[in-house]
Amino acid sequence: MKVLVIGSGGREHALVWKLNQSSYVEKIYCTPGNAGIAKVAECESISVMNTKRLIQYASKNKIDLTIVGPEMPLVAGIVDEFEKNGLKIFGPRRRAAELEGSKVFCKDFMKKYEIPSAQYRTFTDYDKASEFLNYNKGPIVVKADGLAAGKGAIVCQNLEQSSKALDLIMKDRAFGSAGEKVVIEEMLQGSEVSIMALCDGENLVYMLPSQDHKRIFDNDQGPNTGGMGAYAPTPCMTEEMLKTIKTTVMEPTLKGMQAEGRPYKGVLYAGLMLTDDGPKVLEYNCRFGDPETQVVLPMAESDLVKVLMASIDGNLNDIDWKNRKRGRSLCGSCFRRLSRAV
């Protein structure tokens, strides 16, 4: 098969690295790719948001399977467009990707389907949001509704910080139109874990639970980031906890999305806080986590192409995701060393 990966980061490098081990794969392409990826795949400089050119490129090169790395093209509907052109692509359609694309949609969805999450209010009006913060002066989280490259959730300790966060999102429009609406929610305490599962609309195949380092500085200091590094497996995940997450979060999410007429295919990523009251969802991502993918894929034994094709074709119930019994996650330098070797 000829496989195309869309994206240019460490996550896409990990995908290409894993695809390169598949017996189904004849050639790998990547748009736009990066210098490391170029050692394994043919790279072409096309923006991840240029759907028209990507479709032309996939058609011209007779690509059998396309895998989308970042959230922006998924939320914009790249899967719908590829499918209209008869091209096989792995990922959720636009309406399903809204789970990540709109925090308001995501929170209302979780409320409707009783999926555990933080208490919240949503606002489109700055003054009303500001008034709410004045009544809730303690620790609180202010979130821009739309995509903000992982920086739109601001964890605040007091009114001064939450007012600043609201101004940044709604007044300064630091995240553009993503700040037209805000979600203000209860601050949850606990350890954070990332659960990724491949979905075919009805069935889920779980990858290894992982954790990423959120804060920019050592010792969990500084503002949140999209992830400064990751590790898997995670020591804080017991079999029992995983079972709870499957039955209270992952399965109800898939069923709920089906009931909403937005069947979910692709990677469903739940970012969870393990609180004293059980696991609660902080966010969903509609794609492979970054940097979690860089540690989860090296631990996987399964052929990635086989699983992704089963997800597209609705056959995931026939598939098992097998992890190495023993192994270790790779740090950045080991990953680069191994990548050079393939």
For the bound state, the minimum distance from the C-beta of residue 266 to ligand GLY, rounded and expressed in Å, comes to 14
Closest to 78 (Cα-Cα) out of 50, 118, 98, 102: 50
Choose one: 110-118, 196-204, 273-281, 284-292; the region binding ligand GLY (CB under 6 A).
284-292
β 182-186/153-156 pair status = unpaired
* Contact of residue 162 among ligand GLY, ligand AMP, none (CB under 5-8 Å per partner type): none
308 binds ligand AMP (CB under 6 A): no
Nearer to ligand GLY, 58 or 110 (CB): 110
Residue nearest to ligand GLY (CB): 227
For helices 251-259 and 94-101, what crossing angle results, to 10°? 130
Q: Considering only residues 94, 214, 306, 336, which one is a binding residue for ligand AMP as defined by CB under 6 A?
A: 214
SS3 289: coil
Where in 243-272 is the site for ligand AMP (CB under 6 A)?
271
What Cα–Cα distance (Å) separates residue 196 from each residue in 111, 283, 312, 318? 21, 12, 16, 18
For the bound state, the minimum distance from the C-beta of residue 300 to ligand GLY, rounded and expressed in Å, comes to 17
143 binds ligand AMP (CB under 6 A): yes
User: Which amino acid makes up residue 331?
Assistant: C
What Cα–Cα distance (Å) separates residue 289 from each residue in 113, 242, 265, 268? 24, 18, 16, 9
279 binds ligand GLY (CB under 6 A): no
* Contact of residue 81 among ligand GLY, ligand AMP, none (CB under 5-8 Å per partner type): none
Whether the ω angle into residue 223 lies within 30 degrees of 0, i.e. cis, is: no
Rg of the Cα atoms in the chain: 20
289 binds ligand GLY (CB under 6 A): yes
Phi-psi bin for 201: left (phi > 0), alpha (psi -120 to 50), beta? left
Choose one: 2-10, 58-66, 123-131, 285-293; the region binding ligand GLY (CB under 6 A).
285-293
User: Is 84 buried (19+), middle (13-18) or exposed (0-12) by CB count in 10 A?
Assistant: exposed
Nearer to ligand AMP, 32 or 278 (CB): 278
Would you list the DSSP string of 133-173?
HHH--SSEEEEESS--TT--EEEESSHHHHHHHHIIIIIS-
Residues binding ligand GLY: what is the number (CB under 6 A)?
8
Q: Considering only residues 36, 227, 279, 298, which one is a binding residue for ligand GLY as defined by CB under 6 A?
A: 227
Distance CA(74)–CA(97), nearest Å, equals 6
x-marked contacts with ligand AMP along 171-210 as a string, rule CB under 6 A: --------------xxxx---x------------------
* Contact of residue 209 among ligand AMP, ligand GLY, none (CB under 5-8 Å per partner type): none
Q: What is the contact surface with ligand AMP in residues (CB under 6 A)?
A: 118, 141, 143, 152-153, 155, 185-188, 192, 214, 224, 271, 282-283
Q: What is the contact surface with ligand GLY in residues (CB under 6 A)?
A: 150, 212, 226-227, 285, 289-290, 292
